[in-house]
Amino acid sequence: MTATRQIEFREALREAMTEEMHRDKRVFLMGEEVAEYNGAYKVSRGMLEEFGPKRVIDTPISETGFAGLGIGAAMTGLRPIIEFMSWSFSLVAADQILNNAPKMLYMSGGQFGCPIVFRGNCGAGGQLGSTHSWCVESLFSNVPGLKMVMPFDAYDAKGMLKTAIRDENPVFFLESERLLSVKGEVPEQEYLVAFQEALIRRAGDDCTIVSFGRALYFCLEAAQELAKEGIECEVIDGRTIRPLDIESIVKSVRKTNYCVVVDQSWPFASLGAEIAAQVHQYCFDDLDNHVMRVHSDDVPAPYAYNLEQEMLPNARKICQAVRSATYNA
């Protein structure tokens, strides 16, 4: 057994970046407030001191500028980590991150890759209002050429960020502000977490629930509640959205015959819709009901606390969907 310790999600992220920056001199961190202020969310605390201003770089409030700069650096041999204070702000850099980075290898005929990591908070942080509460996973995962990761806990945050930094492609690393303070077991020893390997967070035979990132906590809460009613859910953490480990999901659905997908982005043309479509495709003869989906409500995020809680794919909605899916409504 390797020794472990309890550290916060944000510390796990920092360890990943620090270890990779020691290992590879091409790796650097750039973003708003990442250096002098130790990070808007204190993820990069102490890193300026450790690596100096050439590798931990504060930027002006210009996502278009520093995202594009990072892409150029990646194309010419460096391994940038670009921090978006929130993925909501990445939208102004859409041309850089969606229209250039993921297509660079293709458009240059293989001459230029784009080994870059974009990371930051994604999803409702807590009363941040409509424009600062974006879940970009459905919108962005539509683009070919990028990878997308949504870690669930400190262990995955560290292991997957290290894998992301070493990846030759642009990796969109979606963290949750709500999870940054959550502590988890992390080994002392160095480790990596591979992409496209979904994980069963809770085993069960009665209904498969598929989710990613923070929404998994809603799922686990719901699963606990449903267990009291005798419905044992299998909660699957997809971990990477692209590439998607559909095999693990299919394997579970073939066992349970029911599937509920929980996706914190909006329902229309979403990640949840994609997974539901694939489950219908691969598990048609194994399904006892159509796949049901739980999303954030199809409205801009409200500011009011109670409304925001109600908008999210919360445990109550998940319970309702599972009961309905398994004909226990």
Partner 1 sequence: MSIEITMPRLSDTMEQGTIIRWMVKEGDTVSAGDAIADIETDKATMEMQVYDDGTIAKIIIGEGQTVEVGTLIAIVAEEDEELSDIAASAPDAKVDSQSSPKAEKVDSPTQTVPVAIEPEPAASIQTQEDTVVPSYGNGRTRISPVARRLAEDHGIDAASLQGSGPAGRIVKRDVLRAVEAGVETAAAVPPSAAPKPALPITPVSMETQIIEVPTILEDRAIPLSNVRQIIAKRLVESKTSIPHYQVTVVFDMDPLLDLRKTLNEQLADQGVKLSVNDFLVRCCALAMYEHHEFNASWGGDHIHIHGQVNIGVAISLPAERGGGLVVATIYNADQKSLRAISADTKALAEKARTRGLTVDEMSNATFTISNLGMFGVEHFTAIINPPNSAILAIGAALQKPVVRDSVLTVGYEMSATLSLDHRVIDGASAAKFLQTLKKVIENPATLLV
Interacting residue ranges for partner 1, rule: CB under 8 A: 257, 267, 284-290, 292-299, 311, 313, 317, 320-321, 324-325, 327, 329
Which residue do the tokens 């989710």 mark?
Answer: 211
Length, in residues, of the chain? 329
Of the candidates 138, 190, 261, 180, the residue with the CA atom closest to the CA atom of residue 11: 180
Give the rounded distance of the alpha carbon of 95 from its chain centre: 21
**308 carries an active-site annotation:** no
| Neighbour tally for 98: CB within 10 Å | 21
Q: Minimum distance from CB of 242 to partner 1 (Å)?
A: 22
Q: Which is nearer to partner 1, 18 or 289 (CB)?
A: 289
Q: Which is nearer to partner 1, 168 or 310 (CB)?
A: 310
Q: Minimum distance from CB of 302 to partner 1 (Å)?
A: 13
Instruction: Report whether 241 contacts 151 (CB < 8 A).
Output: no
Instruction: Report whether 193 contacts 175 (CB < 8 A).
Output: no
Q: Minimum distance from CB of 83 to partner 1 (Å)?
A: 30
* Residue of 33, 132, 197, 280 marked catalytic: 132
Q: Which is nearer to partner 1, 68 or 313 (CB)?
A: 313
Q: Which is nearer to partner 1, 142 or 320 (CB)?
A: 320
* Residue of 8, 11, 63, 234 marked catalytic: 63
Q: Which is nearer to partner 1, 85 or 312 (CB)?
A: 312
Which residue do the tokens 């209002």 mark?
Answer: 129
Q: Minimum distance from CB of 272 to partner 1 (Å)?
A: 8
The alpha carbons of the chain give a radius of gyration, in whole angstroms, of 20
CA–CA gap between residue 24 and residue 164 (Å, rounded):
13
| Neighbour tally for 139: CB within 10 Å | 18
**132 carries an active-site annotation:** yes
Q: Minimum distance from CB of 290 to partner 1 (Å)?
A: 8
CA–CA gap between residue 4 and residue 13 (Å, rounded):
16
Q: Which residues are catalytic?
A: 63, 132
